[in-house]
Amino acid sequence: LGGTILENGAPVSSIASEIISAEAYLGAEPIAEALRQGADIVITGRVADPSLFLAPMMHEFGWRADDFAKLGAGSGLGHLLECGAQVTGGYFADPGFKDVPNPWDLAFPIAEVESDGGAVIAKVAGTGGAINAMTVKEQMLYEVHDPANYITPDVVVDFTTAVLEQAGPNRMQVRNIGGKPRTATLKVSMGCMEGFIGEDMFFYAGPGALRRAKLAKQILDERFRIVDLKADDLRIDFLGLNAIHGEATPQDAPEPYEVAVRVAARCRTREEALKVGREIDGMAVSGVGMTGKRVPHQDRAREIIGVWSTLVPREAVPPVITWYES
């Protein structure tokens, strides 16, 4: 196995024995070809999200696979549509700052696409949500590290040239999204066995909840040392206080009235991972005062699959179309 792991630069061969799956991100071209040959339904393996929308545009308008200006525009539109209601106000609302009408009745977006790659993003009249410059811009930049070079299997999209204009209530005109020649490689996601996670939670409420949670953490740190917990990674988080931002959490955050303590350890074996739950069980009667402990309702040691990425030459993954008649 050649190549390097994108996330850490290590050789792919270093995880060869743990790999259980590998999926290359394919593009729109084989889907468009299947449509050209008369397919009613196309079922694919892993395909980049924008490519699912680009393929019918290529089929409808006859765009060539090397017309990167058109493919860039189409892939950019596909990126706007790929997360469904995100462009119509989903994953957007922030009460008092970014309000969304009737968010319980969000509509999926509609793209009225023209042959030159421009489009109007709209939704069904009378539905909830909003389509405006803010919702479209947020989705345009969603998961995009470099707006001038958004790499897809079909084309490198350039969002920096895009022009947005309000075309009516809940209608946004999008045009001039650019495109550059596609890369010589495809991204591959590799699923790897990475051991087991032992996980559980317990709770504190009322005055002094955080003080008790901190003492509980100290107790567990010592207990894990005593039972010789062998963990590649161990986290003890106070949900609602520091679980998201970790050490970057402001130290002067207001004292919470209640704290949920989440404990998780990544271990090489199931037996090691099970130590987490066993030690937390004891907190109900041998821990800090007023510990709220839930009854275990699932296997608290679960096998985990990690995901790593690499690049392979495009020609190493030739797509094949297989036909089934109903």
Q: Count other C-beta atoms under 10 Å from residue 216's C-beta.
A: 22
Examine the domain organization and report whether 66 and 170 are in the same domain.
Answer: yes
Instruction: Give the pLDDT of residue 296.
Output: 65
pLDDT at 242: 77
Q: Of 183, 207, 236, which residue constitutes the final position of a domain?
A: 183
Residue 16 inside a domain? The answer is no
- Which of 138, 155, 183 is the last residue before a domain boundary? 183
35 domain-assigned: no
Is residue 284 domain-resident?
Answer: yes
- Please choose, from the candidates 324, 229, 245, 218, the residue with its C-alpha nearest in 3D space to the C-alpha of residue 278: 229
Enter the tokens of residue 5.
Answer: 């792991």
- The per-residue b/e assignment along 133-158, b for 16 or more CB within 10 angstroms, e otherwise, is eebbeebbeeeeeeeeebbbbbbbbb
Q: Give the domain-ending residue among 157, 183, 209.
A: 183
**Within-domain flag for 98:** yes
Same domain? For 178 and 53 the reply is: yes
Q: Do residue 213 and residue 173 come from a single domain?
A: no
pLDDT value of position 1: 67
- The rounded distance, in Å, linking the Cα atoms of 225 and 269 is 17
Euclidean distance between CA atoms 231 and 150, whole angstroms: 37
Query: Domain check: are 162 and 106 in the same one?
Result: yes
**Same-domain check for residues 209 and 268:** yes
CA angle, residues 292, 296, 297, in degrees to nearest 5: 125
Query: Are residues 261 and 138 part of one domain?
Result: no
CATH code: domain of residue 237: 3.30.70.2750
- Is residue 318 situated within a structural domain? no
For 71, the domain range is 48-183
pTM of the shown model = 0.89
- Both 137 and 199 in a single domain? no
| 141 shares its domain with 234 | no
Walking along the chain (326 residues) 10 residues at a time, the average pLDDT comes out as 91 95 97 97 97 98 98 99 97 95 97 98 97 98 98 99 98 98 98 96 92 96 98 94 77 83 96 95 90 74 96 96 92
Domain count, the chain: 2
Nearest-CA neighbor of 26 among 114, 121, 153?
Answer: 153
Amino acid found at 301: A
Q: Which CA distances in Å does 161 have to 148, 167, 178?
A: 8, 19, 6
**Looking at the domain assignment, is residue 25 inside a domain?**
no
Structure tokens at 85: 């209601």
Kindly write down the DSSP assignment for every residue of 51-89, as one continuous string: HHHHHHHHHHHT--TT-HHHHHHHHHHHHHHTTGGGGGT
Q: Are residues 143 and 206 in the same domain?
A: no
Do residue 199 and residue 177 come from a single domain?
A: no
- Within-domain flag for 63: yes
Q: Is position 140 within any domain?
A: yes
Instruction: Please give the sequence-ordered ranges of beta strands (E in DSSP) within the chain, or none if there are none.
Output: 19-24, 110-113, 119-122, 150-151, 156-158, 163-168, 171-175, 178-180, 185-205, 233-239, 258-267, 292-293, 301-313
